[in-house]
Structure 1
Amino acid sequence: MEKLTNKEEEIMKILWTLERAFVKEIMEQIAGDKPHYNTLSTIVRNLEEKNYVGHEAFGKTHRYFPIVSKADYRQKFVNSSMVDYFDNSYKNLVSFFAKEEKISVEDLKEIINLIEKKK
């Protein structure tokens, strides 16, 4: 599974939400500065070439849908981030978020409870 660009990830998030969409419908969901229609269409076709999306043809128009699930992509991304940035250590990952104050004590307690319940 190939890593996506930030713009490709943004488009995939929209497709995961909408489940099936024409380029026009994807465009409507983009927040902020919207790309030109042809640019967006090219990004979607690139996602198709990377086997992230498929399409149904309706004459000359296509309705796109995700082939790769959000969960599968997230797992791949988190696993590669773990290896690349945290020495494949969940402890290092959680420590990073704690030092950056991105996770609260309550969140950590909840995580510990989840782990203990699995035992």
Structure 2
Amino acid sequence: MQKLTNKEEEIMHILWMLKKAFVKDVLAEIKEDKPHYNTLSTIIRNLEEKGYVGYQAYGKTHQYFPIVTKEAYKERFMNTAIENYFNSSYKNVVSFFAKEEKISVEDLKEIIALIENKK
């Protein structure tokens, strides 16, 4: 699974939400920094070449759909981030968020309860 650019990832989020879409449908969902139609079409074709997107042809137009699920991408993205930035340690991840005050004691207790219930 190749790494996506920020814009490609943004487009994938739209395709995951829409399930199937023509380029004009994706363009309508972009709120800021709208690319030109042809630029967006090129980005989507790049996603197809990378194996993230498939399409159904209707004459000269294509309806695109995700091949890679959001869950599969999320798993790959998170595993890579944890490996590269936290030395493959989930403890380091949780510690980071605790130090940054991005996670509360209540959240940590819920996480511990989830772990204990899986045993």
Q: Is TM more than 0.5 here?
A: yes
TM-score under structure 2 length normalisation:
0.98
Is 1:102 the counterpart of 2:107 in the alignment?
A: no
TM-score under structure 1 length normalisation:
0.98
Q: Runs of 5+ in structure 1 lacking a partner? A: none
How far has the Cα of 1:75 moved from its partner? 0.5
The one-letter amino acid of 1:87's match is N
The one-letter amino acid of 2:59's match is G
Q: Deviations over 1:60-96 (max 9, x none)?
A: 0000000000000010111111110000000001111
Where do 1:1-119 residues align within 5 Å? 1-119=1-119
Q: Runs of 5+ in structure 2 lacking a partner? A: none
The root-mean-square deviation of aligned C-alpha atoms, in Å, is 0.6
The one-letter amino acid of 1:63's match is Q
Identity %: 71
Structure 1: how far apart are the matches of 2:38 and 2:106?
Answer: 47
